[in-house]
Copies of this chain bind each other. A is one copy, B any other.
Amino acid sequence: MKKVSIKDVAREAGVSVTAVSHILNDNKQRFSQGTIKKVLDAKEKLGYIPNKNAQQLRGSKTKMIGVLLPSLTNPFFSTIIQSMDEHKPDNVEIIFLTTINKGLEENIKHLVEHGVDGLVIGRLIDEPENLNAYLTKHKIPYVVLDQSEDNGFTDIIRTNEHEGGKSAAKHLIDYGHTNLAIIQPYELMANMKNRIDGFEQYCGVHNIPNPKKINTELSKLGGKNAVNQLISQEVTGIFAINDEIAIGAIRALIDNNFAVPDDISIIGYDDIDFAQYMNPALTTIAQPIDEIGKVALHQILKKVEGLSSKTEKIELPTQLIVRETTQSLK
């Protein structure tokens, strides 16, 4: 199905494409009322929609923000998007573009070609210098979430991951656990590295043996599959790199006749919406997911509207939420 173009409107109205363009962009001064009416009638009759990308160049107020995230099926990321939608100001319209599987660069090029006004990038950026050069060239502001490294090019919204990892270690160790394991993904995002550093550093300072590390897929199934490598190891305390992995691991522990938390304590990370509904309810390090979405939106809009040219680093707090999957050994 071919879309109606500005040429079709011009033909229908019997005027030039330039005339149609001027009239539809409210630049009517040099045209007669008759010409203006012919163009508007032709537009109405054919159902012509002006091309927003072109309009944006001329300063239309609608803003289009592209959001790049690794996955939508992890509620952590879908909640960030939901939060951005709920907190958007009324005077700025936003469309969320979410692409999932392709390479980051291809995604971004795609979004830029579609006239995006700004980007929120919540994925690992492989070549930050190249990306920054490309976006700077195309005058597209962007902010990054802490799934990527801080390269100093633009705003970063992060949580205190090191402190979060430390809190997880402190909680397990306070509960008397010394035989610890970390379930982590094959590929660590930048923020996860800090999370694990914080955990391990706290163990080191308190003379707790290095935690065993189990590598797996970053998913519920990954958590489930990781348990086979754990159950022969006399581990009593597990730090799962996120709630999804924790949920998968708990299911596998139950299937293998381990009681959580009676036999094994486990703590997750994120506090996704499902965490409090699990049975037992999941102890976790809460990230302020809603706040991350809200702040990311606020920062990118400031840049898109030209209200800020400085580079800000915003750090949000994490919080230990003790529920039912951890228990004192003593």
Chain B residue with Cβ nearest A114: B52
- Does A104 lie at the interface of the complex (its beta carbon under 8 Å from any beta carbon of B)? no
Q: Which residues of B contact A273 (CB under 8 A)?
A: 73, 220
The number of residues on chain A lying at the interface, defined by a beta carbon within 8 Å of a beta carbon of chain B, is 60
Residues from chain B with Cβ under 8 Å of A53 in the complex: 115
A97 to B99 alpha-carbon distance, docked (Å): 9
**What sequence of 0s and 1s flags, for each residue 246-289 of chain A, a beta carbon within 8 Å of any chain B beta carbon?**
01101100100000000000000000011011111100000000
Across the interface, do B274 and A247 meet the contact criterion of CB distance under 8 Å? yes
Interface status of A92 (Cβ within 8 A of chain B): no
Decide yes or no whether A110 CB sits under 8 A from chain B. Answer: yes
* Chain A 91-105: CB-based contact to B (< 8 A → 1; otherwise 0): 001011111110000
A136 CB to closest chain B CB (Å) equals: 8
Segment with Cβ contacts to B, from A81-89, A150-158, A313-321? A81-89
Q: Do the beta carbons of B114 and A85 come within 8 Å of each other?
A: no
For A117, list chain B residues within 8 Å (CB).
3
**Is the beta-carbon distance between A277 and B247 smaller than 8 angstroms?**
yes
Binding site for B on A (CB under 8 A): 1-4, 47, 49-53, 62, 64, 71-73, 75, 78-79, 81-82, 85-86, 93, 95-101, 110-115, 117, 137-141, 220, 224, 247-248, 250-251, 254, 273-274, 276-281, 303-304, 306
17 CB-based A-B contacts, threshold 8 Å: A2-B139, A47-B139, A49-B112, A49-B113, A52-B115, A62-B113, A71-B82, A72-B78, A72-B81, A73-B273, A75-B75, A85-B100, A85-B101, A93-B110, A95-B99, A96-B98, A247-B274
